[in-house]
Structure 1
Amino acid sequence: MTAATAGNIIPYSHVDQLREAKRIIEHEATALRNLALELDARFCAAVDQISACTGSVVVTGIGKAGLIGQKIAATLSSTGTRSHFLHPAEAVHGDLGCLRPDDLVLILSNSGETEEVCRLLPVLQRLQIPIISFTATGHSTLAQASKVVIPLGRMREAGLHGLPPSTTTTAMLAIGDALALVLARLRGFSPQDFAVYHPAGSLGRKLTPVTDVMRTGDSLRVAHEHETVRAVFGQALNPARRVGAVMILDDHDKLSGLFTDSDLARILASHQEQKLDRPIREVMTQRPITIRPDAVLSEVVDLLAERKLSELPVVDESGAPVGMIDITDIIALMPQSLQLNATAAR
């Protein structure tokens, strides 16, 4: 019996547990669908406010809403909107000093009447710092103090008794994600920008710039298209690093072709040694597949796997070569999921 098969066999005693779990997830999913249908111009007003903010988006909330606020602040920061979390209890004990006149405060509170949150409102009003809030309705103390309110509506929490925050915090998280990602698109936030903020871990490796992994300088094999194959391969190589492809240049120093060790082996295997004394342009691969210097590692892996390549020239906008990607260099850098794709290209 496989592990997958074993995982599908459910003891009778667990049936009720799974049924309840599915009801909870479906309850929250329904709430999110309704929330999506009810989003209106107030969401766009929040996007406009944050987009125009020249300072930081300071996110605050208490309890479970505060934990969701921390995640929203992190998502905003990682997608190009300067943001940090401010604990409301710490705020009234001196941390309000972190606020600046050009900041904006995003407050999460389902009831809109939470004591720790409401205590901040007079101070924020005195400082003339605009407030955006995620709260149940537009009638609470928090809503009345906010410049923009994104209402959640009267949601019932999930579970038998509907007590712990669940549906409401899920809704807050979804709206926060929507805000962050809409803002990222509005700012033209690119995968390259994202890579700057995520240099570590599996995600960071996928977003590693090509310029960080390509071979350059003395590690490259470069020849002119008028040179013979024998002359090109008779040149001394840098013993430190072996590159299995020669980038061929035209009279304007632009990449015109690629010649690999495999191409040389085919000439010898077919007993066409006379081609060794012919210009390399006659036997090179013309117009080879290339990649731009601003690409990221995941793009490289996809291209290597799709086209079954082992080497990939990196060229600038003018078509001049600036480096070479060799599959042997990048396999160790990649997450396992990408290694499988790259290995398939070899």
Structure 2
Amino acid sequence: MSVRAINFCAASDLDFAAIAREVFRIESEAVAGLAEQINGDFSAAVTAILRSVGRTIVCGMGKSGIIGKKISATLASTGTPSFFMHPSEAYHGDLGMVDGNDIFIAISHSGETEELLRLLPFLRDNGNTTIALTGNTRSTLARQVEHHLWVPVAQEACPLQLAPTASTTATLAMGDALAVALMRARDFQAHHFARFHPGGSLGRRMLALVRDEMCSDNLPFIQPDALAAEVVATMSSGRLGMAIVSQDRAVVLGVITDGDLRRALESNQQRFFASCARDMMTPDPIVIGPDSRMSAAVELMAQHHITSLIVVDDTGIRGVVQK
């Protein structure tokens, strides 16, 4: 009988949900414990990356390398030029891609990964600033780099304490902390993110112009003296969750949203259907031009805590754009 078959037979007595909960507990404690380890080295590492005119190169072997690839990808997509380098490939020629201005981040839980240690003489001679993420403050790697970020874990989630589990999760979290600190320092915004993600729906939407995303057909116009029943019917038929109050469909007098409608009903239930559009509208709503970028529209809506903008230009009301 194969090992797989033996294990499968024994598995009938296991509580898989309990195992999953135990893994989550161990790994969440590992990540939470990192907060106590953040010190001046973390701030110095962030400052070094900010001041660098080069790239941030992330390097690691095995599972650490896989985590390093994700950290590098996160840095690159959030404003810090970065790429991953495999240490064995680096030792066999890829070091030619390393410029003296580059920051070098080495990842090794033990801090004794031979493939990384043998790169250090070149990096020192090349003038690179070095950062290490390890779980051992006394390791060779921790002692030989300029900035050491300690990523300790009390135990792995693996019952044999062999497979990297909690340690890789904690390392990934430390990488995310670096990326987010750098984002905050660079004032990295959603429209910057979109520029690096043109293939995704967010990138396409935020790099587009308002005219490309706005709704311009069958706009829900309502006269200012229209009664509540007509307002409700117009909003329902318009399917935008709003009505545009305008006398001539050229000048915006106000806007009525679902929220405005509910507030009007709550404040005057008895005479709600006798009220008119001008009684419940929000006058002088926020508007935007059709040639503005969608990134500007999204930021404007977030700033004013709204979900729609009326699009206007010199010719009048052109449409409605929404989140």
TM-score normalised per structure 2:
0.70
Which residue in 2 is equivalent to 1:290?
287
2:84 pairs with 1:85 = yes
Which residue in 2 is equivalent to 1:313?
311
Which residue in 2 is equivalent to 1:39?
38
Summarize deviations over 1:274-325 as a string: whole Å, max 9, x none. Answer: xxxx98889944523324735539939978xx8686x72267xxxx799844
Which residue in 2 is equivalent to 1:167?
166
Is the contact between residue 251 and residue 317 of structure 2 (CA under 8 Å) also seen in structure 1?
Answer: no
User: SS where residue 288 of structure 1 aligns?
Assistant: coil
Q: Letter of the aligned partner of 1:263 in structure 2? A: Q
Which residue in 2 is equivalent to 1:127?
126
User: SS where residue 104 of structure 2 aligns?
Assistant: strand
TM-score normalised per structure 1:
0.66
Deviation at 1:20, TM superposition (A): 1.1
Is the contact between residue 62 and residue 88 of structure 1 (CA under 8 Å) also seen in structure 2?
Answer: yes
**Aligned counterparts of 2:85 and 2:316: Cα–Cα separation in 1:** 46
Deviation at 1:77, TM superposition (A): 0.6
**Within-5 A mapping of 1:32-71:** 32-71=31-70
Which residue in 2 is equivalent to 1:151?
150
Task: Report the CA distance shift for 1:300/1:135 in structure 2 as closer, same or farther (over 3 A).
Answer: closer
Q: Percent identity?
A: 35
User: SS where residue 74 of structure 1 aligns?
Assistant: helix
- Report how many residues are paired: 264
**Aligned counterparts of 1:75 and 1:174: Cα–Cα separation in 2:** 11
**Aligned counterparts of 1:307 and 1:179: Cα–Cα separation in 2:** 32
Q: Letter of the aligned partner of 2:311 in structure 1? A: P
Q: What residue ranges of structure 1 are gaps of 5+ in the alignment?
A: 1-11, 216-240, 246-259, 271-277, 331-337, 339-346
Match of 1:263 among 218, 223, 231: 223
Which residue in 1 is equivalent to 2:175?
176
Task: Report the CA distance shift for 1:322/1:80 in structure 2 as closer, same or farther (over 3 A).
Answer: farther
What is the RMSD of the two structures over their aligned residues, measured on CA atoms? 3.7
Q: What residue ranges of structure 2 are gaps of 5+ in the alignment?
A: 1-10, 231-246, 255-282
Task: Report the CA distance shift for 1:201/1:123 in structure 2 as closer, same or farther (over 3 A).
Answer: same
**Aligned counterparts of 2:307 and 2:83: Cα–Cα separation in 1:** 45
**Within-5 A mapping of 1:137-148:** 137-148=136-147
Which residue in 1 is equivalent to 2:98?
99
Q: Letter of the aligned partner of 1:288 in structure 2? A: P
**Within-5 A mapping of 1:185-334:** 185-205=184-204, 207-211=206-210, 213-214=212-213, 243-244=217-218, 261-263=221-223, 266=226, 284-285=253-254, 287-291=284-288, 293-296=292-295, 299=298, 312-313=310-311, 324-326=318-320
User: SS where residue 15 of structure 2 aligns?
Assistant: helix
**Aligned counterparts of 2:251 and 2:138: Cα–Cα separation in 1:** 78
Task: Report the CA distance shift for 1:102/1:323 in structure 2 as closer, same or farther (over 3 A).
Answer: farther
Is the contact between residue 221 and residue 249 of structure 2 (CA under 8 Å) also seen in structure 1?
Answer: no
Is the contact between residue 113 and residue 141 of structure 1 (CA under 8 Å) also seen in structure 2?
Answer: yes
Which residue in 1 is equivalent to 2:116?
117
2:20 pairs with 1:21 = yes
Is the contact between residue 31 and residue 171 of structure 1 (CA under 8 Å) also seen in structure 2?
Answer: yes
Summarize deviations over 1:145-174 as a string: whole Å, max 9, x none. Answer: 200000113542112111101111111100
Is the contact between residue 137 and residue 154 of structure 1 (CA under 8 Å) also seen in structure 2?
Answer: no
